[in-house]
Chain A
Amino acid sequence: MTAVTPVTSADPLVYLTVSEASRLIAARKLSPVELVEAYLARIDAIDDVVHSYITVLADRARAAARIAEAEVLAGRWKGPLHGIPFAVKDNYHVKGVKTTGGSRLMLDYVADETSTAIEKLEAAGAILLGKLNTWEYGTGTGEIYHDLPFPLARNPWNPARHTGGSSTGAGVAVAAGTAMFALGSDTGGSVRLPAAATGVYGMKATYGLMSRAGCLPNCWSLDVVGPLTWTAEDNATVAQVMAGYDPRDPQSADVPSYDLMAGFDMGLKGLTIGVVRDLGADAPSMDPDIVTKLAETEVLLSELGATVVEIALPAPLSKYRSVTGTINWAESLSIHEQDFMERSHLMGKALKDKMTSGFTVRAVDYVAATRYRRQLAVTTDAVIRTVDAVLAPCTFITAPTFEDQERLVKFTFGSATSIFNVTGHPAISIPTGFDRDGMPTSAQIVGRYFDEATTYRVARALEKAAGTRGLRPAL
């Protein structure tokens, strides 16, 4: 793959991939201190434009970088994340650091615990740069109300355009080079939508694979955490560290650890890939450029040797949506009930709308949603188990401008992401190229339960063949 870097002010260091930087660090050709300084400089230079961060932890990152440098020089290289700078959506707690959740309700909140995900990454040598922008408590209708306490994150491919939410800073940081990788959280698409908007990879792993302990919840029964990265390989590398049973998370899956990169570079020969083309008569329409890219991706899968078959999901998109709506309103209200009853004037409109919706939901309807959810999971799984992996649409349009409320809502709710929150299957949002306006297009690769490895294998093969990784935002 040839890197074609457009006009940019960026230090080339911030556009290294995790695996590239890792090789240089291990070979002592690149110091973590140098790398962290390059990112801090990049943040200084462009974050006033893209607003990817809520909190930059410069001193903490510099201190960690010096330690990492000393460790590597002393021959104690810890592995592929040692010295790699990353950032997290501001709903991950770090002990002694503010967690705002993007909310006026938490502007002064200092966490007294560190999330398991960050503990694991830091133990692997990764260096936390700071906390990234987010919609309030991960909540968004898609509409932008300009009523949150921090400036709106902006898309580095075009700052007049949306970043995808709710992990609004996470995709931006990876694409614009203000972090080498980022962590988001995903209730109905909040990792995959920002990844789709900014042309990066965003993984929502099998429900329960990655611990959510120490993260602000949005909706317990649908939430997962996940990494956003520039390449498929980087994603698998980070995910491997995040995966694993954690008794601190009641929904953590107690399964033996497995290799997320098994077969990573084996190509697609012998694999059967199911393609989901029809999401129901009542699904929103797809933009022609998205349709074209999905069709091209299908062709590419065949050319790479996969057997491509059309599969049909057991229910239209709208049914999966109805499940996430009821469950999310009710659980979010339970989480924030006291705030809603006492301090709702501090909430932004999107969050307040969700709380208000949750207030009148009856328990029987909530339980009915959880029952229907299980049925959808069982019947969807039966379809997914007939193939090795699935190609499905991600968003139906590319990132819209902030002025276009209708398309903003469509970007968030008219997408196929929530299907796999309902069912719990691993789903990665992959970049498939660009539309006529130069905005990234996307698709989802979906796998069987606990088979992230095949989704990465497919993502990797498409990445190599499509060559989408050469172009970075001109910023």
Chain B
Amino acid sequence: MSDFPAWTQDEINAFAARYGLANLTPDHLARMRELADRVSAAGRAIPRMPSKGDEPASTFRVPLA
């Protein structure tokens, strides 16, 4: 979807730093930038549920097991 701006390398570097991914090499970070566009595309590819009541396939239940 070209109407969404792609991530920049700076944004990815900042994102990785913000969430503590301190040991990624420049190669890894470059790969992460490539993946970032796929991640946002994959997120947008999920159809949103029409009803607010449609629940996730969650796993928390009582009794606990």
Interface residues of A (CB under 8 A from B): 206-208, 213, 216-217, 220-221, 250-251, 253, 255, 331, 334-338, 362, 370, 373-374, 377-378, 381, 424, 449-450
- Could you jot down 18 A-B contacts, CB within 8 Å? A206-B62, A216-B53, A217-B53, A220-B56, A221-B58, A221-B60, A250-B58, A251-B58, A251-B60, A253-B63, A331-B56, A334-B56, A370-B59, A377-B62, A381-B64, A424-B60, A424-B62, A449-B64
A19 CB, nearest partner CB in chain B, Å: 29
Residue in B52, B59, B61, B63 whose Cβ sees the most chain A Cβ within 10 Å: B52
Interface residues of B (CB under 8 A from A): 19, 48, 52-53, 55-56, 58-64
**Contact A374–B52 (Cβ < 8 Å):** no
Query: When chains A and B are docked, how far (Å) is the Cα of A331 from the Cα of B64?
Result: 21
**Contact A208–B52 (Cβ < 8 Å):** no
A251-B55, A335-B52, A336-B52 known; A374+B60 contact, CB < 8 A? yes
Partner among A220, A381, A450 whose Cβ is within 8 Å of the Cβ of B55: A220
A216-B52, A251-B55, A337-B48 known; A208+B62 contact, CB < 8 A? yes
Query: When chains A and B are docked, how far (Å) is the Cα of A374 from the Cα of B63?
Result: 11
Closest to B60 in A: A221
Query: When chains A and B are docked, how far (Å) is the Cα of A220 from the Cα of B55?
Result: 7
**Contact A373–B60 (Cβ < 8 Å):** yes
A217-B53, A337-B48 known; A208+B64 contact, CB < 8 A? no
Chain B residues with CB under 8 A of A253:
61-63
**Contact A370–B60 (Cβ < 8 Å):** yes
Closest to A338 in B: B48
Closest to A252 in B: B61
Query: When chains A and B are docked, how far (Å) is the Cα of A208 from the Cα of B59?
Result: 12
Chain A residues with CB under 8 A of B62:
206-208, 253, 377, 424, 449-450
Chain B residues with CB under 8 A of A450:
62-63
B47 CB, nearest partner CB in chain A, Å: 12
